[in-house]
Amino acid sequence: MKKLERIEKFEPQVQIESPGRINLIGEHTDYNEGFAMPTAIDKKLRLEFRRNDSDTCRIYSETFKIGFEFKLREELERGTDWENYILGVVDQIQKAGKSIGGFDCSIHSNLPVGAGISSSAALECGIASGLNELFSLGLNSLEIVKLSQQAENDFVGSNCGIMDQYSSVFSKQDHLILLDCRTLDVEFIPANFKNCKLLLLNTNVAHNLADSEYNSRRADCEKAVLRIQKDYPKVNALRDVDIDTLVQYKDRFSKTIYQRCLYVLEENQRVLQAANSLRKGNLQEFGSFMYQSHEGLQNKYEVSCKELDFLVDYSRDKDFIYGSRMMGGGFGGCTLNLIEEDKIDNYVEEVSSAYRDKFNIKLDAFSVLPDAGTQIIINDYRL
């Protein structure tokens, strides 16, 4: 593996737009085969590809001015975090018995990294989609999603669920996905937020427990399922457990494990209730589920952090904010806020200054729109 200082400008043969995602509600439910409500957003990567008729792959981020190159071989060497998202996809493609040649890829981004809006899934799915087109691999969209998730599980070492990759690929403009993470059945719910907008407040912190704690939350849930299965063999995931059944384990599980499971069961219910609120157009009610979700993540699932809690608490007495919660895996990243549009500027100014006073950290704020998943542009006259 070699660092790359720059890449020659080239006419792309394939271009891909690969978006980040938000999740309205349903956090840490995907790997428990439950429900979530994500959508892709109008912040994305643009990846340009061309074949280079060699066995060398060159990847360069025009935005961050970093790059690397590697040679195609059976056993790929591991690199740094962002390199591994790419290498992991190439590795999965090879393991699927598909053959690719050398390629050049340059990447432009307006997607903040480490903000919990899944720049990693955008990168994995963007690379997988681009190589699929460039080398006619014949993968369908669901195969791209699963291969990208597997790349993250195997190569990067994060046992993530399917939500991020699924929404990055399959979203529809101006809609939210009510996603059943077990069956992958979806309902596209119109994102009718009336006079409100979705505002992200980026704490600009990324506590480094994130990966290990994420994997240990998942392991806790799986341990609980194994125990419940002994009495209820049909239980395959927390999705199959109802709250009355869980209560029977209150004294048999540690308090921590019991609380983790309770959070997941409650969050699954909240997603379905919140979907109803949206269908009825009741944004206040929808927002109250966002606050409940945050409380569960903070106190039962314990994946929040003081910076996220501060931002959610700060919003509570503002009648123009209907809901606020941490988003994504946790331990940093963004809060998602459902806020009346004409109040955004003043609120951002106020909360930024309170956040700076408290933590001496600059807050970043940006509103996002639900947008379409992966877009593919093929300049096939060159292929």
Q: Which residues are catalytic?
A: 164
**Counting contacts by CB under 6 A, is residue 267 touching ligand GAF?**
no
Is residue 38 within the footprint of ligand GAF (CB under 6 A)?
A: no
Q: How far is the CB of 274 from ligand GAF (least distance, A)?
A: 14
Q: Is 30 in the site for ligand GAF (CB under 6 A)?
A: yes
**Does position 31 bind ligand GAF by CB under 6 A?**
yes
Instruction: Please say which residue, 22 or 348, places its beta carbon nearer to ligand GAF.
Output: 22
If the CB atoms of residues 27 and 133 are measured against ligand GAF, the closer one turns out to be 27
Burial class (CB in 10 A: 0-12, 13-18, 19+), 11: exposed
Number of Cβ atoms within 10 Å of the Cβ of 273: 15
- Among residues 13 and 29, whose Cβ is nearest to ligand GAF? 29
- Interface positions, 125-164, toward ligand GAF (CB under 6 A): 160-161, 163-164
- Choosing from 27, 33, 83, 104, the residue that interacts with ligand GAF (CB under 6 A) is 27
* DSSP class of 296: I
**DSSP letter string, 177-239:** EEEETTT--EEEEE---TTEEEEEEEEEEE-TTHHHHHHHHHHHHHHHHHHHHHH-TT--SGG
- Shortest spacing between CB 359 and ligand GAF, in angstroms: 23
> Smallest gap, in angstroms, from Cβ of residue 149 to ligand GAF?
8
Name the residue type at position 383: L
Which is closer to ligand GAF, CB of 12 or CB of 161?
Answer: 161
Nearer to ligand GAF, 193 or 301 (CB): 301
* Beta strands in the chain, from DSSP E residues, in sequence order: 2-3, 14-23, 35-36, 38-51, 56-61, 66-71, 103-109, 175-180, 186-190, 196-206, 321-326, 332-340, 364-368, 370-371, 375-378
Q: Per the structure block, which two tokens stand in for 244?
A: 């009355």
Cα 157 vs. chain centroid, distance in angstroms?
16
Tell me which stretch binds ligand GAF (CB under 6 A): 28-36, 198-206, 231-239, 260-268: 28-36
Nearest to 41 by CA among 102, 119, 144: 119
329, 332, 370, 373: residue in contact with ligand GAF (rule CB under 6 A): 329
Min dist CB 244 to ligand GAF, Å, is 25
Q: The tokens of 294 are what? A: 């945050």
Using the contact rule CB under 6 A, the part of the chain among 27-35, 203-211, 230-238, 343-351 near ligand GAF is: 27-35
Q: How far is the CB of 160 from ligand GAF (least distance, A)?
A: 3
Q: How far is the CB of 216 from ligand GAF (least distance, A)?
A: 13
Backbone angles phi, psi at 331, to 5 degrees: 60, 30
Report if residue 328 touches ligand GAF, rule: CB under 6 A. Answer: yes
Residue number with CB closer to ligand GAF (14 or 160):
160
* Ramachandran area for residue 65 (φ above 0: left; ψ -120 to 50: alpha; else beta): left
Query: Residues in the site for ligand GAF, rule: CB under 6 A?
Result: 27-28, 30-31, 118, 160-161, 163-164, 328-329
